[in-house]
């Protein structure tokens, strides 16, 4: 952990200018060579990122990535970037803790193996379920947040409401798809939900980057959760990973279940089966 996770220091008011710019005072735009190359390094991981999104996530991880909370992990692309940023800060006194929440079991599995391939799995805790259920079970105090789950207005309102209960003041929160044109048609409700949260005094807009908008949580956010000790973090994540059949006990060790040897689970493929059923019913439909 850093002694204190710093809040961003550079604010940009223009909501349409979305180029890559730093949010913390420093001499160079890029923090290091890995930052400069992070988009290229991670672009083959499944996910949706503009270059400026990736640069911002790395920067936030570097400065504020002690306890990272991400809603919507999909394939682990953003998770890898945040963790690589957090791990690259030489002033960080302890290992960063990443908490990823996703309602899709396949996303959890995909993210798990991506994080393993990129050597950052031991800093990661993945939770299968909603933010509501996560917050109910774990009292964490995030130092940075990436919101990138469902884009429907009602779902985002619900996630933001949950987030606000645990969020302390001064924390950077990056909302993906805030600039997505689908917000204009109403198909996406990110901009509307986040702007309402802002107008209610919970956050201050501090810049647009790629497809995302960065806010810093305001004084109305008064979450005061704890951080998990290293042991609690490890024990809880191992327990969850075993229950997801991604890890297993071998003697007194917990080891990763190899990706290719993983036991087929009906649960994982239920959505595929239901898609096949829909297709068959569609083909059999009288015309
Ligand atoms: C756009 S993808 C995330 C991409 C990822 N953040 C990245 O940049 O690499 C959205 C993810 O959100 C998940 N999701 C959808 N609704 C959710 C919800 N209500 N709570 C948590 N995750 C959700 C989906 O399963 C999907 O994996």
Please give the full DSSP string across 95-114, using - where no structure is assigned.
--EEEEEES-HHHHHHHHHH
Share of the chain above pLDDT 90, in %: 82
pLDDT band at 43 (very low <50, low <70, confident <90, very high): very high
- Separation of CA 246 and ligand 1 centre (Å): 19
pTM above 0.75, yes or no: yes
Q: Which of 39, 57, 101, 102 to mutate to test the pocket of ligand 1 (most atoms within 8 A of CB)?
A: 102
Distances (CA, A) of 36 to 11, 40, 67, 189: 22, 9, 23, 32
- What mean pLDDT is predicted for residues 42-48? 95
For 33-262, the fitting CATH number among 3.30.365.10, 3.40.50.150, 3.40.1550.10, 3.30.420.10 is: 3.40.50.150
CA-75 nearest atom, ligand 1: 9
Mean pLDDT within 129-149: 96
82 lines ligand 1 (CB under 6 A): no
Quick check: 224 and 168 in contact, CB under 8 A? yes
Q: Could you tell me the residue ranges of all domains in the chain?
A: 33-262
pLDDT of 254: 87
Determine which residue's CA is closest to atom 27 belonging to ligand 1.
74
* Pairing mode of beta strands 253-256, 172-175: unpaired
CA–centroid distance, residue 203 to ligand 1 (Å)? 22
Please give the average per-residue pLDDT across 45-67, as a whole number.
Answer: 96
pLDDT digits (tens, 9 = 90+) for 78-113: 999 999 999 999 999 899 999 999 999 999 999 999
75 CB near ligand 1 (under 6 Å) = yes
**Residues 273-283: tens digit of each pLDDT:** 555 565 566 56
Cα–Cα distance measured from residue 197 to residue 63, given in angstroms and rounded to the nearest whole number: 24
For residues 40 and 115, is the Cβ–Cβ distance under 8 A?
no
Q: Which residue has the higher pLDDT, 20 or 278?
A: 20
161 CB neighbour count, 10 Å cutoff: 14
In degrees and rounded to multiples of 5, residue 220 shows phi and psi of -70, -15
pLDDT at 261: 55
Q: Where are the beta strands (DSSP E) in 73-202?
A: 97-102, 124-128, 144-147, 172-175
Per-residue confidence (pLDDT) for residue 266, from 0 to 100: 47
Output DSSP code: residue 189: -
pLDDT, one tens digit per residue, over 218-254 is: 999 988 878 889 999 999 999 999 999 999 999 988 8
pLDDT band at 34 (very low <50, low <70, confident <90, very high): very high
């Amino acid at each position: 952990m850093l002694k204190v996770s710093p809040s961003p220091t550079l604010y940009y008011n223009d909501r349409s200018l979305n180029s890559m710019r730093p949010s913390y005072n420093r001499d160079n735009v890029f923090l290091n060579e890995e930052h400069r190359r992070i988009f290229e390094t991670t672009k083959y991981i499944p996910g949706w990122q503009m270059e400026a999104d990736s640069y911002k996530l790395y920067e936030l991880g570097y400065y504020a990535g002690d306890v990272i909370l991400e809603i919507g992990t999909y394939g682990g692309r953003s998770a890898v970037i945040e963790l690589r940023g957090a791990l690259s800060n030489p002033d960080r006194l302890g290992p960063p803790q990443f908490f990823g929440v996703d309602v899709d079991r396949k996303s959890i599995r995909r993210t798990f193996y991506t994080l393993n391939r990129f050597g950052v799995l031991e800093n990661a805790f993945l939770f299968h379920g909603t933010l509501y259920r996560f917050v109910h079970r774990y009292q964490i105090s995030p130092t940075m947040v990436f919101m990138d789950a469902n884009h429907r207005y009602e779902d985002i309102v619900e996630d933001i409401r949950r987030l606000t209960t645990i969020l302390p003041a001064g924390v950077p929160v990056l909302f993906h798809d805030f600039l997505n044109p689908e917000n204009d048609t109403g198909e996406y409700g990110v901009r509307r939900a986040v702007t309402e949260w802002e107008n209610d005094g919970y956050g201050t807009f501090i810049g647009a980057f790629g497809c995302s908008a960065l806010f810093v949580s305001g004084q109305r956010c008064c979450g005061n959760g704890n951080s998990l000790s290293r042991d609690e973090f490890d024990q809880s994540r191992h327990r969850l990973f075993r229950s997801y059949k991604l890890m297993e006990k071998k003697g007194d060790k917990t080891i990763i279940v190899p990706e290719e040897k993983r036991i087929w689970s009906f649960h994982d493929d239920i959505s595929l089966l239901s898609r096949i059923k829909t297709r068959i019913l569609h083909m059999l439909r009288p015309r």
